[in-house]
Amino acid sequence: MSNSWRFVTTIAKKEIIEFVRDWRTLLALVVIPLLIFPALFIALPLLLQSEAEELDALELEIVWQGSISEELQVAFSDSRLNISFEEMPTDITNLSDIGSDDERLRNKETTAIFRLQQDDTEWKFSVLYLSTSEASNEARNRIITDVNDWERSVVNGTLVDAGLDPEKTLNPVNWDGDSSDADAATKGEQAGLVLSMFIPMVIAIWTASSAIQPSIDMTAGERERGTLEALLCLPCSRMQLLAGKWLAVAGITSAGVALQIGGLLFAITFLASASIIGIPTLSAASVLLLLGAIIIFTIMVVAFELALAMKAHSVKEAGSLLGPAILFIIFPALFTQVINLDGVESWWFAIPLVNILLAMRELLLDRVIAEHVFVWLLSSIIYAGLAAWFAARQFKREDLVASIS
Amino acid sequence: MSGPLLILDGVAKRFGEVEALTRVDLEINPGQVIGLVGGNGAGKTTLLRLMAGVMEPSNGTILFGDNPVSTMRKKLGVVPESTGLYSRLTAWENIRYHSRMYGIPDDVAWGRVSHFAEMLEITEALSRHTKGFSRGMRQKTALLRALAHGPDILLLDEPTAGLDVTSARTVRSLVGQLRDEGGTVIYSTHHLAEAEQVCDRIIIVHNGTIRADGSPKELLEVTEKESLEDAYVFLTSDKARTRTEDDVKEGKMAKWWRRFLTGSTPGTKYSDRMISVQEVSEDE
């Protein structure tokens, strides 16, 4: 083993050991990335579903004011709405005028008030409710659903009385067959499109944000804790020191991103088993280029963050520098989502950050376009090299030693 | 190696406009304990950092044998004032990390360390995380770390600062033993009595210059004083410069921003106050 490699691996190994000995770090590094997508895609929908079922099962008290429709009354009862009948208030200008019923809704004396008025052949209605109350919203939704069904029934009855076929009269133009069969894209390609809308963004933001803490800890943190001077006295060069620290931060960050992708794949497999989403179909070339894009992106981001953190004299200062710097990742990441990939010009693939994010989107759609690959690969390598050069400059600064307290 | 281990020839160090050291010529011979004595801001730490090869001199050369010292860091053992221990590692892991960087196999490093650890009464603590260590324990661990690779010169920056009497005494005993074994130690300290007790040779640093260099006896003879304290006061009678480290630390942008907000530079306020106190005293 060459001396250089020994220095780099010894530094990296020590940094990683020291970093993972903090349980908070492990939580942030392993548990959160691993669980975030399963929580988002599996647990959250399950929770929402159970909440919706609970709400569905509720019997809700409502007040019915004005005219009565027996058909509607039966529908309300079937929808588990318990009705109290009242006269229509006289002090209102129209049916939506809450008037003195405001307090009753706010005090939750009733979940909603249904007002119905028949003028000759025309029916008028309104539902008074409290939008900040879930029960009130639920009551309103049930009432409106029943009113719509009743309206359809009234319309159908009128059409039948007039000797017309309601279906042919109301829906004269219909899609023939299953609309999903008409899509030339396979389920896998459709899944790729869905994933391309957020995976690049997630990778970019997570890589940048999870590299912040180790970058600060291993640079400004060392400076503040007074361990940097002893480190600089070791018989290794500043470049070897930078390489060791870079390897450690990149390793920690990659582990976080890999766990997050693992969690995502688990969630996708779970959703695919329920036929909610397909498994993306990617060629070997796309997968390899995708990995390459992530590695280059990590090199660039970690080098840049290490350099900025090394520029700072304290952990606090480093946090002030790196915190806002994450915006430089978030904005291009959001911006890239709206770029249309059909016929996108090659120069887009030369813009820093945007190039890698666009490349990831294209590759997730399994589009390997040689010209684009050449541009983003070359430009990204140049940017990663520039970031490494900037980091090297920061590590070689003499005041690194002079300003150690 | 015969002849001096370390040769400083016309060494000067500037930080921006601040001259931290001015033309230092020194030869460090093997088998000596050398004390660098001076007040705060005298230039002791800068001189030690230059000798440790972590800083390059603005002028002059520092050679270890025939090579620039920065390329010979493998031959040096350094204990900075901050000790520089990682709190999430055990004492032994801290030592092993450094010895591995010097290419020393773990068993060899352990062999060297255990010998001194016993003397410093720290063997049992080597397996403990350094987080809860006292200042004395940290200092002892840092000493073991610096000795693990068998350096030719040991550089100690204020090794007894903040230590209790017993710990300071143990550290001094270790330095004495290293000398008895033929080792070379450069030892910076504020305390003249300590330097007198431990060192064969004392170098008095003041305002970035070497004011005196010799054995305690030689210093007394040259200055014609009865105690080293009197000799030190005589040699450093000119007013100590104000510390300008903050100026060096502060970036251009930060400096501009501070001036914009406060309209002053650090030190100005205080030096003005000092002058006015002096003036008042004179007036009185």
Q: How far apart are CA B81 and CA B160, in angstroms?
A: 9
Q: What is the pLDDT, as a whole number, of residue B227? A: 86
Torsion of CA B161, B163, B165, B166, to 10 degrees: -130
Looking up tokens 């070379």 gives B184
Which B residues, 194 through 213, put their C-beta within 8 Å of a C-beta on chain A?
none
Residue to mutate among A229, A240, A394, with most B CBs inside 10 A, is: A229
Of B211, B89, B205, the residue nearest B141 (C-alpha):
B89
On the question of pLDDT at B270 being above 80, the answer is: no
State the pLDDT at residue B268.
43
Residue B46 in any domain: the answer is yes
> Does a structural domain hold residue B270?
yes
Closest B-chain CA to A7: B101
Contact yes or no for B89 and A226 at CB 8 A: no
- Rounded to an integer, the average pLDDT of B2-14 is 90
Residue A405: predicted pLDDT: 46
Let me know: does A33 contact A256? Beta carbons within 8 Å.
yes
Sign of the CA dihedral with A102 first, then A104, A107, and A110 last: negative
Angle of CA points B249, B253, B254, to nearest 5°: 55
Q: Inform me whether the C-beta atom of residue B172 falls under 8 Å from chain A C-beta atoms.
A: no
B98 contacts in chain A (CB < 8 Å): 230, 234
Q: Which candidate, B156, B138, B136, places its Cα nearest to that of B90?
A: B138
| Strand B184-189 to B33-37 pairing | parallel
Same domain, B180 and B205: yes
Q: In this complex, do A234 and B101 lie within 8 Å of one another by their Cβ atoms?
A: yes
Q: What sign does the CA torsion over A331, A332, A334, A338 have? A: positive
Same domain, yes or no, for A21 and A92? no
Kindly state whether residue B254 falls inside one of the protein's structural domains. Answer: yes
User: How confident is the model over B265-269, as a mean pLDDT?
Assistant: 46
pLDDT of A203 reads 85
- Which residue is closest to B245 within chain A, CA to CA? A403
- pLDDT band with cut points at 50, 70 and 90 for residue B117: very high
A65 within some domain = yes
Q: Is A228 on the interface with B (CB under 8 A)?
A: yes
Is the ipTM higher than 0.90? The answer is no
Whether residue B175 is found in the same domain as residue B69: yes
Residues in chain A with pLDDT < 50?
405
- Pairwise CB contact (< 8 Å): B88 & A22: yes
Which CATH number do you get for residue B79?
3.40.50.300
Search chain A and give the residue with CA nearest B70. A235
SS3 track for A204-226: HHHHHHHHHHHHHHHCHHHHHHC
Q: Is residue A225 a part of any domain in this protein?
A: yes
Parent domain of A367: 3-44+186-402
A365 shares a domain with A250: yes
Residues B71 and B185 in one domain: yes
Distance CA A278, CA A258 (A): 21
Helix, strand, or coil (residue B275): helix
Q: Which of A8, A11, A14 to mutate to test the interface with B (most CBs of B within 10 A)?
A: A14
Write the DSSP assignment of A312-353 as a string of letters.
-SSHHHHHHHHHHHTHHHHHHHHHHHTS--TT--GGGGGSTT
Task: Count other C-beta atoms under 10 Å from residue A362's C-beta.
Answer: 24
Q: Is residue B169 part of a domain?
A: yes
Q: B257 with B194, same domain? A: no
Nearest to B34 by CA among B230, B178, B224: B178
Q: Is residue B24 part of a domain?
A: yes
Residues A80 and A200 in one domain: no
Tokens representing A219 are 């640079």
In a domain, residue A179? The reply is: no
Domain count, chain A: 2
Is A83 within 8 Å of A64 (Cβ atoms)? Answer: yes
Residue A118: phi and psi, rounded to 5, are -105, 125
Q: Same domain, yes or no, for A267 and A198? A: yes
Q: What percent of chain B has pLDDT over 70?
A: 85
Count of domains forming chain B: 2
A24 vs A28: CA distance, rounded Å = 6
Residue A147 within a domain: yes
DSSP A158-213: HHHHTT--HHHHH--S---S-GGGG--S-HHHHHHHHHHTTHHHHHHHHHHHHHHH
Residue B2 confidence (pLDDT): 66
CATH code of A105's domain:
3.40.190
Residues 6+ apart with CB under 8 A from A50: none
- Tell me if B146 is assigned to some domain: no
| Contact A326/B at CB under 8 A | no
Residue B158 lies in a domain: yes
Residues B12 and B76 reside in one and the same domain: yes
DSSP state, B241?
A: P
Residue A124: inside a domain, yes or no? yes
Task: Looking at the structure, tell me whether residues A36 and A69 fall in a common domain.
Answer: no
Please check whether residues B168 and B217 belong to one and the same domain: yes
Domain limit, last residue, from A166, A201, A223: A166
pLDDT number for residue B192:
87
Interface check for A6 against chain B (CB to CB < 8 A): the answer is yes
Chain B: give the shortest CA distance to residue A298, in Å: 26
Note whether residue A176 is domain-resident: no
The answer to the question of residue A180 being in a domain is no
Set of chain B residues whose Cβ sits within 8 Å of the Cβ of A14: 86, 89, 97
Does residue A339 sit in the same domain as residue A203? yes
Q: Does B68 touch chain A (CB under 8 A)?
A: no
* Same domain (yes/no): B263, B224: no
A149: number of Cβ within 10 Å: 14
CA distances to A107, A242, A300, A387, B259 from A382, rounded to whole Å, are 65, 19, 10, 9, 39
Quote the pLDDT of residue B126: 94
Chain A residue numbers touching B54 (CB-CB < 8 A):
229, 232-233, 401
A291 and A206 in a common domain: yes
Does A163 touch chain B if contact means CB atoms closer than 8 Å? no
Among partner residues A226, A234, A399, which is closest to B73 by beta-carbon distance?
A234
Residue B284, pLDDT score: 34
- Of the two residues A337 and B268, the one the predictor is more confident about is A337
Distance of residue A303 Cα from the nearest chain B Cα, in angstroms = 22
pTM attached to this predicted model: 0.77
Instruction: Look up the domain containing B181 and give its range.
Output: 6-87+151-235
Q: Which of B6, B31, B40, B36 has the alpha carbon at shortest distance from B212?
A: B36
Same domain for A135 and A267, yes or no, is: no
Classify residue B106: in a domain, yes or no: no
Q: B186: which strand partners? A: B34, B155
A403 touches chain B (CB under 8 A): yes
Same domain, B161 and B79: yes
